Amino acid sequence: MSAYLFDPHPPVAVPIRGSQQQFPVRRIFCVGRNYGAHAREMGFSDREPPFFFTKPADALVLDGAEIPYPMLTENLHHEIELVLAIDSEAKNLPAEAAMDVIFGVAVGIDLTRRDLQMAARDKGRPWDWGKSFDQSAPIGEIVPLQQLAEDARQLDKGRIWLDVNGTRRQEADLAELIWNVPEIISAVSKAMHIMPGDLIYTGTPAGVGAIEPGDRVTGGIDGIGDLAVSIGARAE
């Protein structure tokens, strides 16, 4: 007799560039409003204390997938982001030591049901229904930090961009992050016990906007890689 009422769901994992192994995912943390121009386009000032929300691990969608247009929304938005893949345990980590817990990086997209997010925000309610839905976290392959060019390993510069149907929507540089990569990791570790398998989506630049069924969304970060997904018919 099985110890479980039904079979446990299989682990969620992301391919690793140049390896037969995959990166098993535990949790997804996301940083809100971490580029000044995006904070301003959303009606906020630049450097407010960092805040976070989460997505379930099974919200991940791999490169090349077709994603059904999600239920409940009429305003699905794209948000291109640098993703950090953590392989070490840490808590109360100083920023000076934060780079040591990064295994690798990837390109990600935080899909957002903007109408639901704004309705929740205006009522002082949690963002979950706007952010943490099925297939809301596309991600490319994870690139081990040691495979990056030496001048890119600090993750403090590099063009980040997103196109919809070949038209540029978002373009910025990692140097424009309000809270840089070590500061982000340190902030998470002071609130949560960081563990191997955690992913951190580090925030999106300005230019977020709506996508529709039939759209092809492509994005990338110079020196790291690209990501492409398409939006399918409305989910039923």
CA distance 117 to 133: 11
Work out the average pLDDT over 30-47: 72
Q: Structure tokens of 140?
A: 């490319």
For the stretch 143-183, pLDDT in tens is 999 999 998 999 999 999 999 999 999 999 999 999 999 99
Q: Please say if the pLDDT value at position 118 is more than 60.
A: yes
Query: Is position 5 within any domain?
Result: no
Distances (CA, A) of 47 to 30, 35, 40, 177, 180: 17, 9, 10, 10, 12
Domains contained in the chain, number: 1
Residue 6 in domain: no
In a domain? residue 94: yes
Does some domain include residue 2? no
Residue span of the structural domain in which 209 resides: 13-234
pLDDT digits (tens, 9 = 90+) for 44-70: 666 678 889 999 999 999 999 999 999
Question: With left for phi above 0 and alpha for psi between -120 and 50, is residue 128 left, alpha or beta?
Answer: alpha
224: CATH? 3.90.850.10
By the 8 A CB rule, do 224 and 105 touch?
yes
**CA angle, corner 11, sides to 8 and 14, nearest 5?**
165
Reading the block at residue 185, the tokens are 């990791």
In contact, 176 and 35? CB cutoff 8 Å? yes
**Dihedrals phi, psi of 183, to nearest 5 degrees:** -65, -40
Q: How far apart are CA 46 and CA 49, in angstroms?
A: 10
In this structure, is residue 4 part of a structural domain? Answer: no
Q: Is residue 39 part of a domain?
A: yes
Residues in the chain: 236
Q: Is the pLDDT of residue 98 over 70?
A: yes
Residue 41's pLDDT band, with cuts at 50, 70 and 90, is: low
Is 163 inside any structural domain? yes
Lowest pLDDT segment from 16-20, 43-47, 108-112: 43-47
The verdict on pTM exceeding 0.75 is yes
Helices (H), the chain: 36-41, 114-122, 128-131, 181-189
pLDDT for 236 equals 78
